[in-house]
A = this chain, B = another copy of it.
């Protein structure tokens, strides 16, 4: 991550230890993210105890970079009353449009939902929206689990080109 908002210090695996993590890759100009993902993350943040479930936004900008820089993101988070920590994905090391974490996890676009268990395993990564009933159930299933031995998340290489392709469900990398 190149930068964090809504938190005094960067968040990492040690900060989150033992908690379930609900994270989402989003863009502040992705209509489906603004309309569905951000409100859903706010509901998760409001409902689950913070010492059990951590909510994190990941600003994975892959187009319109000039319009979605950190000052614009800060204004967005303020106006949309987002209180949970948000990380700014670091630019691609090779200068391509897809940022670093987004590429490492081969995310298809925004929004991308990530569920990480208490043992720091990635248990769901999916493009698009899932219903509240299902998300509530999946989070609680992870909350109920005992932590396992930590093996880390295995990332994958993503593609290096992108064109924005948005509809009501989100914006895809093409």
Interface residues of A (CB under 8 A from B): 29-31, 34-35, 40, 43-44, 47-48, 64, 66-68, 71-72, 74-76, 78-80, 131-141, 143-144, 164, 166, 171
By a CB distance below 8 angstroms, the chain B residues around A131 are 43, 47, 132
Docked Cα-Cα span, A152 to B97, in Å, equals 49
B30 near A79 with CB under 8 A, answer yes
Most buried by B among A35, A140, A164: A140
Given contacts A48-B137, A133-B136, 11 further A-B contacts (CB under 8 A): A44-B133, A64-B72, A66-B71, A67-B75, A132-B136, A133-B135, A135-B136, A136-B140, A137-B143, A140-B141, A141-B144
Q: Which one of B47, B76, B132, B137 lies within 8 Å of A139 (CB-CB)?
A: B137
Chain A interface, DSSP helix/strand/loop, else mixed:
helix
Interface core residue of A34, A67, A72, A166 (most chain B CB under 10 Å)? A67
Residue of B at shortest CB range from A80? B31
Report the minimal beta-carbon distance from A38 to chain B, rounded to whole angstroms.
10
A68 to B68 CA separation, bound complex (whole angstroms): 10
- Across-interface contacts of A136 in B (CB, < 8 A): 132-138, 140
Contact of A67 among B40, B44, B71, B171 (CB under 8 A): B71
